[in-house]
Amino acid sequence: MADAIMQSREAAAERLKRAPLVTNNRSMSWITNHVASCTEKPAPTWWWIAFTLSSSLALVSVFCIGYLISTGVGVWGLNHPVGWAWDITNFVFWIGIGHAGTLISAILFLTRQKWRTSINRAAEAMTLFAVVCAGIFPAVHVGRIWMVWFLAPVPNSNAIWQNFRSPLLWDVFAVSTYFTVSVLFWYTGLIPDLATLRDRATNKFRKFFYGIGALGWRGGNRQWKHYEMAYLILAGLSTPLVLSVHSVVSFDFATSVIPGWHTTIFPPYFVAGAIFGGFAMVLTIMLPARAIFGLHDMITDDHVDKMCKIILLTGSIVGYAYAMEFFIAWYGGNMYEQYAFINRATGPYWWAYWTMIFCNVVAPQLFWFRFFRRHVLSVFIVCMFVNTGMWFERFVIIVTSLHRDFLPSSWNMFYPTWVDIWTFVGTFGIFFALFLLFIRWLPMICIFEVKAVLPEADPHHGHDDQAHAPVGALKEVAH
């Protein structure tokens, strides 16, 4: 009898046991060596090819922006009534992608999700690079970029003061705050690993630059104590930002009176969409990086599985929001609102709308099945769909709402010019070039945090399993 109970308890314990976060019983030194060596070995040929391609693409964007600034915004295809088009679409697309990193590093940190440790560094770096790409568009779309300082509340001889009731101004503050806090958070988390790279450095240059970056980190108890407190505070500061930034971005639209924009569902819908698109982009770049650098023991299939589940959840929220927009348009009884939504699905931009629905709502449903969450190629393909779909979502919201003006004589279509297209394509070059530099210069996985989730890091590791069991629990049964 007792044996049977014991066996069933053991079986249950076996089932409840969490899968290890680092597989193949890798040791601490293996982790340090493996991650640090990615920055220490000479750059492989593929890296040079990829970097050349992406930085060339980045230059295309730089050229297009130079052409735009020197000539004027007329080189873009937007015109009345579509006054916002690819510029703001691209801005919202990139800023949305920039949400996953901080969600992973701040919210998952506060909720003690230890699986975040192996992906947070790269995801946060991706966040920063996405915000860099995002920041380009609102900056250059103002036309006279040398006047962009008008956005900053500084006393000036024009006596211009900002309109603090405008969500466009909130947007400037929200995005710049987000970028600043994200940089601080990312850098704080890097310090111990920069010290590791400094200590491993074999030449003066590396010693010098990583030495500066490490800020004199020695890894003493006091330093760790301060570090952990600083990191916790920054995580606490970042957490509301994850939710606020995209809420504020959605206010750019929601506080206007354009049918199709003027909806209260926008903030939560935008935040869910941002996390959705952000996680898809994290997987899009992590899966190739994992394959190339052989990081399967740290970024395991379980990690991918969990991220797929978040994509499924947020994708379903986004799908719900799409449905709810239609419901409210009908239930609200406003004919202009109704027209805006019927026109979205059946008007001249129907193809964009249904692309969005397929990519964002239908494709992620595959992740209900374990097989598709565990199959790298299917995960990658779904993520590419999500990336595409999230761009189309912003395009649909912006362009289809604007192209049918209140005055039917103003109705017009939007056609991008080559400058529109290449500026956007070029931002991918900027994004990937920055990411490639990141994986060469900085440890792409948080070495010290991954070591902390190893079984050896547990103070009770290696003790008798029952030594710390509650008094009279298992032992009593065994007798």
Partner 1 sequence: MANFFPSWANWLPLKLLVIASVLGAVVTGGIWYYFTPKYTNVGYMPEQPVPFSHAIHAEQLGMDCRYCHSHVEVAAHSNVPDTQTCMACHSQIKALSPKLAAVRASWEKGTPVEWVRIHKAPDYVYFNHAVHVNRGISCYSCHGQINEMPVVYQAEPLSMAWCLECHREPEKFLRPPSEIYNLSWRPASAQDQLAMGAQYKKEWKVNPPVGCGGCHR
CA distance 220 to 56: 44
Least separation, in Å, of the C-beta of 32 and partner 1?
18
Give the whole-angstrom CA distance, residue 10 versus residue 20.
18
User: What are the backbone dihedrals phi and psi of residue 453, each rounded to the nearest 5 degrees, phi first?
Assistant: -95, 5
Q: Whole-number minimum distance, CB 159 to partner 1, in Å? A: 4
180 counts as binding partner 1 under rule CB under 8 A: no
Which of 16, 159, 407, 467: binder of partner 1 (CB under 8 A)?
159
Q: Which is nearer to partner 1, 219 or 348 (CB)?
A: 219
Determine if 146 is a binding residue for partner 1 (CB under 8 A): no
149 touches partner 1 (CB under 8 A):
no
Instruction: Give the nearest distance from C-beta 142 to partner 1 in angstroms.
Output: 15
Q: Under the criterion CB under 8 A, does residue 213 sit at the interface with partner 1? A: no
Contact predicate 109/70, CB 8 Å: no
Query: In whole angstroms, what is the distance from residue 399 CA to residue 404 CA?
Result: 9
Rounded Cα distance between 404 and 313, Å, is 33
Taking contact as CB under 8 A, which single stretch among the options 76-84, 99-107, 173-181, 206-214 is the one that binds partner 1?
206-214
CA–CA separation, 21 vs 117, rounded Å?
A: 9
- Distance separating alpha carbons of residues 44 and 46, to the nearest angstrom: 6
Q: Which of 18, 163, 84, 146 is nearest to 397 (CA)?
A: 84
Q: Residue 90 to residues 17, 423, 427, 430, 433: CA-CA distances in angstroms? A: 44, 10, 9, 13, 18
Which of the ranges 113-121, 174-182, 208-216, 229-237 carries the binding residues for partner 1, by CB under 8 A? 208-216
160, 230, 376, 452: which one contacts partner 1 (CB under 8 A)?
A: 160
DSSP string, 354-403: HHHHIIIIIGGGGGGSHHHHH-HHHHHHHHHHHHHHHHHHHHIIIIIHHH
**Site membership for partner 1, residue 207 (CB under 8 A):** yes
Of positions 29, 45, 158, 221, contacts partner 1 by CB under 8 A: 158
Q: 146 or 351: whose CB is closer to partner 1? A: 146
| Of 208 and 331, CB closest to partner 1 | 208
157 binds partner 1 (CB under 8 A): yes
Q: Which is nearer to partner 1, 29 or 157 (CB)?
A: 157
**Judged by CB, which is closer to partner 1: 176, or 417?**
176
Nearer Cβ to partner 1, position 165 or 204? 204
The rounded distance, in Å, linking the Cα atoms of 283 and 298 is 14
Answer for which of 8, 156, 180, 256 binds partner 1 (CB under 8 A) is 156
- Taking alpha carbons only, the member of 26, 32, 25, 20 closest to residue 447 is 32
- Let me know: does 211 contact 198? Beta carbons within 8 Å: yes
Determine the size of the site formed for partner 1 (CB under 8 A). 11
Which CB, 149 or 415, lies closer to partner 1? 149
Where does residue 175 fall: left (phi above 0), alpha (psi -120 to 50 degrees), or beta otherwise?
Answer: alpha
Query: Given the complex with partner 1, which of 208 and 411 has the nearer CB atom?
Result: 208
CB 356 within 8 A of CB 378: no
204 contributes a contact to partner 1 by CB under 8 A:
yes
Determine the Cα–Cα distance for residues 105 and 115; give it in Å rounded to an integer. 10
Under the binding rule (CB under 8 A), the answer on residue 201 touching partner 1 is yes
Does residue 184 touch partner 1 according to CB under 8 A?
A: no
Contact yes or no for 331/325 (Cβ under 8 A): no
Structural tokens at position 85:
């088009």
Quickly count: other Cβ atoms within 10 Å of residue 174's Cβ.
20
Interface pick for partner 1 out of 66, 153, 216, 332 (rule CB under 8 A): 216
Cβ proximity to partner 1, 82 vs 191, nearer residue: 191
Indicate whether 264 belongs to the interface with partner 1 (CB under 8 A): no
Tell me which stretch binds partner 1 (CB under 8 A): 57-65, 88-96, 157-165, 365-373. 157-165
56 vs 156, beta carbon nearer partner 1 = 156
CA–CA dist 260, 256 (Å, integer): 10
Of 128, 129, 108, nearest in space to 117 by CA? 108
> Which of residues 211, 213, 319, 364 is near partner 1 by CB under 8 A?
211
133 near 426, Cβ under 8 Å?
no
Query: Measured from the CB atom, is 154 or 233 closer to partner 1?
Result: 154
- Measured from the CB atom, the residue of 160 and 454 that comes closer to partner 1 is 160
What tokens were used for 241? 């930002």
* Interacting residue with partner 1 among 8, 72, 208, 256 (CB under 8 A): 208
Enumerate residues 14-33 that contact partner 1 by CB under 8 A: none
The binding site for partner 1 (CB under 8 A) comprises 156-160, 201, 204, 207-208, 211, 216
